Amino acid sequence: MERIESLEQFQNIINEDQYSVMKFDTTWCPDCKNLDRFIGPIVEENDDKSFFAVDAEKFEDLASKYEVRGIPSLLVFKNGEKLAHLHSKFAKTPTQIREYLDTLK
């Protein structure tokens, strides 16, 4: 999963006419590391979406703007609009992630 390196990159991606899934995380978060262990096949199953990782500490302003209160959180954007937000307490298992992404089809 490609990591966001700039605000400009983030803006360009979320403005695209396709689903962009932004995984807000940090380097020290145990739940983030656990999600990373099983997210690969889920990304492959959802080839109609682009997936990116955003460091919530490096981009605190984005995390605040989009109401990321816990990590990991998965936010979905399309055409510059936030369409969905899977909060951290619901992003702990592959089933929870798959069910969340299935609502976007």
User: Could you tell me if residue 38 is inside a domain?
Assistant: yes
Q: Does the residue 23 lie in any domain?
A: yes
* Residue 105 in this model has a pLDDT that exceeds 80: no
The residue segments making up the domain with residue 28 are 2-99
Q: How many domains does the chain have?
A: 1
Q: Yes or no: say if 36 and 75 are a contact pair by the CB < 8 Å rule.
A: no
Catalytic residue among 32, 35, 68, 101, which? Answer: 32
Q: Which of 22, 29, 39, 101 is catalytic?
A: 29
The predicted pLDDT at position 89 comes to: 83
Let me know if 98 is a catalytic residue: no
CATH number at residue 21: 3.40.30.10
Q: Is 31 a catalytic residue?
A: no
For the segment 54-99, what is each residue's pLDDT rounded down to a tens digit?
A: 999 999 999 999 999 999 999 999 999 999 999 888 888 899 999 9
Task: Please give the radius of gyration of the chain, using alpha carbons only, rounded to the nearest integer.
Answer: 12
